[in-house]
Structure 1
Amino acid sequence: MIKIDKVSLKKNGLYEVHLSNGDKMTVHEESLVRHRLLSGRELTGEELETITESIQYDQAYVDALKYISYKLRSHHEIRDHLGEDYAPYIVDDVVRRLMDENYINDEMYAEALKNTMLNTSDKGPGMLERELKKHRIDEDIIFKKTSAFSGAVDSERMNKLKAKELKRYKGSKRHFSMKLQEKLMTKGYYKEHIDMITSGDDFDETPYFERDFEKTYKRYRNRHEGYILKQKLTEALLRKGYEYDLIQEKLGEMTDETIG
């Protein structure tokens, strides 16, 4: 027989049960009362094993509820979290109970994540899809939620994203268009969303062209002259996305003395 030598109160409503074999158990007050873990009580090995298993189950359940209380969690997240401290059969039982009580619901989780991304971020449906796959959400749920997200994206959202990027960009129109498309695809938007962006003459590349032309001219003028200098300038500015006609117009303004 194994005797309970002492029961001591710890912090946060937990108790420590000291056993005569040198072992200790940390339990919640509910488990203490339910299993009558009183000082002086004697337990058989079988009784102790049953109680220990039940206490682990209770602790895992409370741990899971605490984990969920901070934010919604996916089925996969709960399993990973509990799997760090509890045996697989305990994790299975706790997860089953949480699902029955609707604390774990992957469709609700996916819906909440969709709404958060749609309403509080500049991310697109592709990012939602990647995040849900990472959490091993069912493919049917992923398809349903990403489709709903995609359908909610409108031209107003896309043009706001364009305006945001435009404020930070300094360069050619062509490069801006390429970089914007690349950025939006990285954020999870699809071609049909990018096509919603209105094109217009809302971006004046002239000051950036003048700046880039001057910097490029200074870089090459001491090494080249005449036709070769013009060719080098043209090639460098084309790589930056400026139009050929704009470059030639600028070169045409240069005097023979300047070009060498």
Structure 2
Amino acid sequence: MTDTGAGREDEALLITAVEGHPKEKQRYLLYVNGSREPLTSVHEDLLIRYRLLKGREILIDELRQITEEDSDHRVYVLALSYLGARPRTSKEIIRYLARKGIEEAACEKALERLQQERLVDDDSYANRFASQRMRTQLKGRRLLRQELEQRGIAKTTAKEAADNLDREAEREAATRAAIKKWPHVKGESRDRKRKLMAFLLRRGFPSDVVKQALGAAIEAERLDEEGPALDN
């Protein structure tokens, strides 16, 4: 395509044709001054916003600004498609765009727009992630805080999300994990208790919660061994 930087900035170009891009949806080719080769392509949103229609005159300086905005829009759409699979953190968005060869400034601009539109919200992500993982994967607040930081969540945000977890829900998760694990722990009684406590601590549960969960697992096993009470 023709370099939009050619010519004087106050020079006016006449749009003589607008055609849909043959390979990219929602993009249009712009032809100027009767040329058979497209000067550039723009997204449909910009085409409508700037009324880039046949017969419109446009200054080179204006066209340059539009193509720069279109470049930003490309990065935004790329990030938006990445978000389609599941919620992402700010750091994940930046890393993804960087892998695509996008310059840092363009990455930050796209992220800022996504944040303004509330499509990327690290606080909400952290709270939702921690609560869901605790419930479905039976993990405690200390491990969940580490996992959030590994996903690029700021330490203060990760800590706040972990601190916001419901204590009773965490005790229930620890108890479920303990009861599930206890029958598979081998060794003498004292050794089994030590192993289970170490297991629960590695899963990020606080020590007081671990002790309660251990007691619940032992009691569940006792009741299971006794079997149902017989009616007199």
Using structure 2 for the length normalisation, give the TM-score: 0.68
Task: Give the letter for the 1:198 counterpart.
Answer: G
Larger relative contact order, structure 1 or 2 (CA cutoff 8 Å, min sep 6): 2
1:50-89 residue pairs with structure 2 within 5 A?
Answer: 50-83=65-98, 84-89=100-105
- Secondary structure at 2:19's aligned position in 1? strand
- Residue segments in structure 2 that go unaligned for 5+ positions in a row: 1-5, 8-12, 223-232
Matching residue within 208, 215, 220 for 1:198: 215
Give the match's secondary structure for 1:17: strand
Instruction: After superposition, give the CA deviation of every residue in 1:6-26 in whole Å (9 maximum; x if it has no partner).
Output: 734346733353777978856
CA gap of 1:170–1:43, structure 2 versus 1, over 3 A, is same
Q: Which residue of 2 aligns with 1:159?
A: 175
SS at match of 2:27: strand
Task: Report the equivalent of 1:118.
Answer: 134
Indicate how the Cα distance of structure 1 residues 74 and 55 shifts in structure 2: closer, same or farther if over 3 A, else same.
same
Pick closer, same or farther for the CA change 1:186–1:154 going to 2, 3 Å: closer
Give the number of aligned pairs.
203
Structure 1 gaps, min length 5: 204-260
Q: Deviations over 1:182-206 (max 9, x none)?
A: 3222222232221112074737xxx
Aligned to 2:153: 137
8 A Cα contact 2:93 2:111, kept in partner: yes
1:13 aligns with 2:25: yes
Q: Match of 1:128?
A: 144
The one-letter code of the counterpart of 1:59 is: R
The corresponding residue for 1:186 is: 202
> Residues 18 and 183 (structure 1 numbering): CA distance in 2 closer, same or farther, change over 3 Å?
farther
Contact preservation (8 Å) 2:174, 2:210:
yes
Bigger mean CA deviation after superposition, 114-123 or 43-52: 43-52
Any conservation in 1 of the 2:140–2:170 contact (CA below 8 Å)? no
Q: Distance in 1 between matches of 2:143 and 2:86?
A: 19
Secondary structure (helix, strand or coil) at the match of 1:198 reads: helix
Is residue 17–residue 37 contact of structure 1 (8 Å, CA) maintained in 2?
no
For the aligned residues, what is the CA RMSD? 3.5
Residues 186 and 11 of structure 1, relative CA distance in 2, 3 Å threshold: farther
Change (3 A) 1:91 1:154: closer
The residue aligned with 1:174 is 190
Residues 193-248 of structure 1: per-residue CA shift (max 9 Å, x gap): 21112074737xxxxxxxxxxxxxxxxxxxxxxxxxxxxxxxxxxxxxxxxxxxxx
TM-score, length basis structure 1: 0.62
Percentage identity across paired residues of the two chains: 25
Paired residue for 1:209?
none
Partner of 1:220: none
Rg larger in structure: 1
- CA distance in 2 between partners of 1:36 and 1:108 (Å): 38
